[in-house]
Structure 1
């Protein structure tokens, strides 16, 4: 005999559209006056902000209530947890996911974006709740294929929210030392850029990380290279590149917790 579930958390299906709209269909009855909302997860040492209330949507074909996150206004960059606000005293319940339909996001890198570049991807947290990963940037360089050998790293990217111009370049910035940069030439083809990075060597004999940017034009601010425009909220442990040895140091490109491209350099290849 199957025991009934003791999980009292509400559940919802989520459907993502190509224009950034997210539609949530609630699977459990919603108490009178309850409102679905997203709450931005605070950074370390910060307090939680005000909930972002979702817009009531049309009743689904099966009679379920829906709530909608429209494309605008854009969410602030960060991770947003979904709750059901159940009363004026601030009581709330976290929402668990059932089905997540993110097929419309899979080929998102093929669509050009205007500035600012706003992205949101629904996902399941490690502890089994429904959340939305949001990015909001003035411009973005969507990373493409990364080629790696024992001499250099070749990166391809497509600019969104910015146009390549005279003096475009690639910039590697030493993390923790913003004044230490390496500037490299780029090949430009429309909005696509590519560049080759000779493997960096350890600085001051220590381990370190170089963050990868594209400067669209000589006087333009640098744009971070990353992979944001598809259905993956977390890429760090999905796209894993090998480590190569260069002059006694280990060199490995990787995606950060924010899905940005960086290059780690360690003192030993097995470090």
Structure 2
């Protein structure tokens, strides 16, 4: 039995949703972590809509934080999703959790939502164990 090859990505170690922010801690896996890196959020429903945040990188470890209020938009559908990547301007790495033995994180890891006005924001793992953000507007859960 050989080890599964995991392509380069931003391996998430910690997700901290609180106080109007989401802090992400992890490491850059599979490539050298040289240069300046940014956390990039890409809105699935609107191609070309992205948000960028400074990312502190030391060795292969990274830490970044984003204010959930930045995810508010006047043209939101009732449910919007944002995908999370790290980039150095040349390479874009998907953020996820792949180096453990836990599969199906979507049903296992449940993070608390945060409310900003009518917007509810919650980090979640996709069926491919990548990390994304779900934004819901209106009503209650």
Which residue of 221, 224, 227 maps to 2:97? 227
Alignment match, 2:42: 173
The residue aligned with 1:257 is: 127
Taking the aligned partners of 1:188 and 1:208, their CA distance within structure 2 comes to 29
User: What TM-score, normalized to structure 2?
Assistant: 0.89
Query: Which deviations, in whole Å up to 9, do the C-alpha atoms of 1:213-260 show, x marking residues without a partner?
Result: 111x23x22100101111112111111001111122111000011100
In the aligned structure 2, how far is the partner of 1:162 from the partner of 1:192?
A: 12
Number of residues paired by the alignment?
138
Matched with 1:205 is: 76
2:105 aligned counterpart, secondary structure: coil
Over 3 Å counting, the alpha-carbon distance change for 1:152 and 1:269 in structure 2 is: farther
Deviations, residues 63-99 of structure 1 (Å, cap 9, x unaligned): xxxxxxx45xx6xxxxxxxxxxxxxxxxxxxxxxxxx
- Asked if the contact 1:239/1:254 (under 8 Å) is kept, the reply is yes
CA gap 1:189/1:269 in 2 versus in 1, 3 angstroms: farther
Counterpart pick for 1:141 among 10, 33, 53: 10
Name structure 2 gaps, 5 residues minimum.
Answer: none
Name 2:117's counterpart in structure 1. Answer: 247
Separation in 2, partners of 1:265, 1:202:
10
Q: Gaps (5+ residues) in structure 1?
A: 1-20, 22-69, 75-117, 120-136
Q: What is the aligned partner in structure 2 of residue 11 from structure 1? A: none
CA contact (8 A) 1:202 1:265 kept: no
Q: Is the 8 A contact 1:251 1:269 kept in 2?
A: no
Conserved 8 A contact 1:250-1:269: no
User: CA 1:211 to 1:269, structure 2 compared with 1: closer, same or farther past 3 Å?
Assistant: farther
Give the C-alpha shift of residue 140 in structure 1: 1.2
What's the counterpart of residue 164 of structure 1?
33
Q: Which has the higher contact order (CA 8 A, sep 6+)?
A: 2
CA RMSD of aligned residues (A): 1.7
Distance 1:229 1:142, change over 3 A: same
Q: CA deviation at 1:203?
A: 4.9
Aligned to 1:155: 24
Q: Distance in 1 between matches of 2:83 and 2:97?
A: 14
**4+ residue stretches of structure 1 with deviation over 3 A?**
none
2:81 and 2:111 mapped to 1: Cα distance? 15
The aligned runs of 1:1-271 (5 Å cut-off) are 21=1, 70-71=2-3, 118-119=5-6, 137=7, 139-199=8-68, 200-206=71-77, 207-215=79-87, 217-218=88-89, 220-268=90-138, 270-271=140-141
